[in-house]
Chains A and B, each alone.
Chain A
């Protein structure tokens, strides 16, 4: 059993916050899909919204994890931006 904890740096703007200087609303900008693969196979998919806190923290529990397993996390946001990170179980 492995506990997978991640913190993704992202503003997760709700679209309801005002810019401190211009007083204009900051547009919605949030991660909408995040996927996790273990050795190339899907183990989790998260559909998120603007109601998830800034710099999303996510914690999952995955059985059958062994040394050398490769985990890959991909995220995508409503602006079409995306990112990926890979790590190997030490």
Chain B
């Protein structure tokens, strides 16, 4: 019985969702901190200033898994884990992309400060990860990713 419960707990949920679009329904969201301006900004420094993270010192408590060389810039796998206490959100920035702020993830309830996804990179660039805590403190870490074939204007 205990074994079975463990199996259920470990069960991996796989959603391969064919999500149908359904017209212009209002956005149902708890997005109270949607930083549209920072997302639309084309310069990394300005975007960082807009989120209030212009001067942030590096932290070793953020783990990033990204390839050193990405052959295809349309699909660059990225995995981030924050070991910083009270991580509220994780930001992903690609310095050389037309809009550097790529994604922001808010961890609600007890969701672990972990995310794995796939992003586009136009060219070789610095990749910056910022962590914001519930007391609005920022931490950062970065990697350089070399891109062989760029991934913004190309066909995926």
Is there an interface contact between A59 and B15, defined as CB atoms closer than 8 Å? no
Give the distance in Å from the alpha carbon of A85 to the alpha carbon of B17 in the complex: 7
Give the distance in Å from the alpha carbon of A3 to the alpha carbon of B13 in the complex: 6
B107 contact set on A, CB distance < 8 A: 44
Is there an interface contact between B118 and A52, defined as CB atoms closer than 8 Å? yes
Is there an interface contact between A62 and B111, defined as CB atoms closer than 8 Å? yes
Is there an interface contact between B8 and A83, defined as CB atoms closer than 8 Å? no
B120 contact set on A, CB distance < 8 A: 14, 50-53
CB within 8 A of B111: which of A5, A49, A58, A60? Answer: A60
Is there an interface contact between B21 and A82, defined as CB atoms closer than 8 Å? yes
Closest beta carbon of chain B to A62's beta carbon, Å: 5
- The reply on A22 being an interface residue by CB < 8 A is no
The size of the chain B interface, using a CB distance under 8 A, is 60
Is there an interface contact between B152 and A4, defined as CB atoms closer than 8 Å? no
Residue of B nearest to A74 (CB): B28
CB within 8 A of A45: which of B16, B29, B97, B99? Answer: B29
Is there an interface contact between B12 and A2, defined as CB atoms closer than 8 Å? yes
Assuming the contacts A14-B98, A17-B155, A75-B19, asked whether A90 and B11 have C-beta atoms less than 8 A apart, the reply is yes
Is there an interface contact between A45 and B39, defined as CB atoms closer than 8 Å? no
Q: Which candidate, B30-38, B55-63, B128-136, B137-145, is the interface stretch facing chain A?
A: B30-38
Give the distance in Å from the alpha carbon of A74 to the alpha carbon of B21 in the complex: 11
Give the distance in Å from the alpha carbon of A85 to the alpha carbon of B13 in the complex: 13
Residue of A nearest to B150 (CB): A16
Is there an interface contact between B8 and A53, defined as CB atoms closer than 8 Å? no
Is there an interface contact between B117 and A7, defined as CB atoms closer than 8 Å? no
Known: A80-B24, A85-B15. 6 other contacts (CB 8 A): A17-B153, A47-B103, A57-B116, A76-B27, A81-B22, A83-B20
A residues near B (Cβ < 8 Å) are 1-10, 14, 16-18, 20, 32-33, 35, 38, 41-54, 56-67, 71, 73-76, 80-85, 87, 89-90
